Structure 1
Amino acid sequence: MSARGVLGALLLQMLPLMLNPASAVAGLRWLRMEEPRNFGYFVGDTLQRHAYILVDPDDTLQAASLPKPGAVNYWLDLVSVEVRESRAQGGKLYRVTLVYQNFYVPLDPRKLTVPEWPLQLGGGSAVIPAFAFTASPIRELFPEKSGETVDTFLKPDARAALVSAGWAPHGLALSAAVALLTLALLAWHYAWWPFGARPDRPFTRAARKIAALAGNAVATANYRAALLALHRAFDAAAKRRLLADDVDGFLAQHPEFAACRAEIAKFFQSSREVFFGGSVAPLMPLDAVETLAAQLSAAERTR
């Protein structure tokens, strides 16, 4: 074939690319870079670059075309390569993260360049562009030129400044005062010491005493002591001796106890049978007396 014929064949093969340049990067929609700062790097610092590559849904990024971690040149290492794939804008979005580490020790601020890297796609190619940054020296080489010697060039460690606690001690004192006040109010509400002996909580004292009586004995010393403790609570609340016939008047003066009317009547009847009737099986056992005392204690705290 003549030279003219060969040239004609090449032109025919290149004609589609000339008419449609996008076919040269078929499958690649766009490539966008997210770069770190391009200044202020010292020896040992790392740079993290992100390349976002959007391709057609049926296209793929060839893993074999990715750079391999290792030395790029004598002053730059590729520390790691990470690829994440997701769906976006009707296609595949690849995020390629490249972490480089700088080992260049410049004598003065120096502009360095991370080289570009070509990537292969299933239906085309893409190029991660080069990235230029400025590396800075970490110390001055000739301190004596500024009137300092090697011995005096390194400054002594700065003294740590005293950090003012500010309002912290006052806040701590205020918190402690609020906690003590809350504890005092809680002790007053539940008739704890030293508020346990106040006259307006007789049923609370009785409930505490009855709860301390062990067993469920009927017509025994413990049971009688429980009955007497609750009787004394009724007397203290009424400010006189309260008998069974006085219950209606007592409840009229103290309506907060009206919900326990039936149990109070049963208590007085059981007490009469134990102390005056010689009954060995009263209507209200010790656990029922304890329950009534607890209910009356809760009711008197609502006043």
Structure 2
Amino acid sequence: MRLPSLTHLRCFESAARHQSFTAAGEELGLTQSAVSKKVKELESDLGFDLFQRVGRGVVLTPAGQGLAADLELDLAGLRATLQKAAAAGAGRSALRIAVLPAFANLWLIPRLPDFFDRHPEVELSFSTRLEPFDFARENFDLAVHYGLDNWPGTHMAPLFGEEMVPVCAPGFYAAHQLELAANLAQAPLLHLDSRAGSWAEWFERAGLAGSPRQDGRYFDQHSMVIAAAAAGLGAAIVPYDMVAREITAGDLLRIPGPVLESRKRYFLVRPHGPVPEAVQKLEVWMRKQLRTRPD
């Protein structure tokens, strides 16, 4: 089979992702009719339909669904390959890293200026992955994983466990007199949707009477919970390592009381096999960051 052009594949991938030729055209800087024409030409080359035209919209056929899923990974891998080639052409190395959004936004990215100061010869790119994947299928050099030591076929280096602590903004701390933890029973609380029972567990561990308020604000990302706490919207229970810098700087205050610990940990994960020098540099740097962890 003759390989279709990259332009045809990109038009199909974008149209499949958006389920719209118009949106694909806006993304690619083409007209709707140009995208539609490219997709029809691709269908003609392949010999089967990728979309069903339903009224004024389009729906992927089963064959189109399969191609779209594989093509998304293939194009991402191609981009990573070209990034590595561009870096090599400039005398640098490039690493592609799969990350969890909260870990990247709250722990890793704020520390990266130090890494780039020490290793200007290494370029990093990041993509979100929430679940384990096949390194042989997806073109990643490293991944950050939260959970148990159960990612088959990989080397998993533990980074840190998750210690959950209550925090709030200084003004909120003073207004609600939270030097006495019992005053949390009357204070607005912030909740993470996936861990709605954290405050109840903390109240029990702290020996506080009654149940925590359930009428607070709810969020589905730790980064949002932490931003809300910093804005003075309430008290939050969050991973200590995600807010250690803010606590040290005085932007957040730790509320007295117990620490909630989980069996799960953060891991730095890579496939088995030879370890590239750039990967070794990043791993060593991350371990150094852990050794300088604030108390």
Considering the TM-score relative to the shorter chain, is it more than 0.5? no
User: Shorter chain as normaliser: what TM range?
Assistant: under 0.3
**Larger Cα-atom Rg:** 1
User: Structure 2-normalised TM-score?
Assistant: 0.18
User: Structure 1-normalised TM-score?
Assistant: 0.18
Which has the bigger relative contact order, CA under 8 A and spacing at least 6? 2
* Larger relative helix fraction: 2
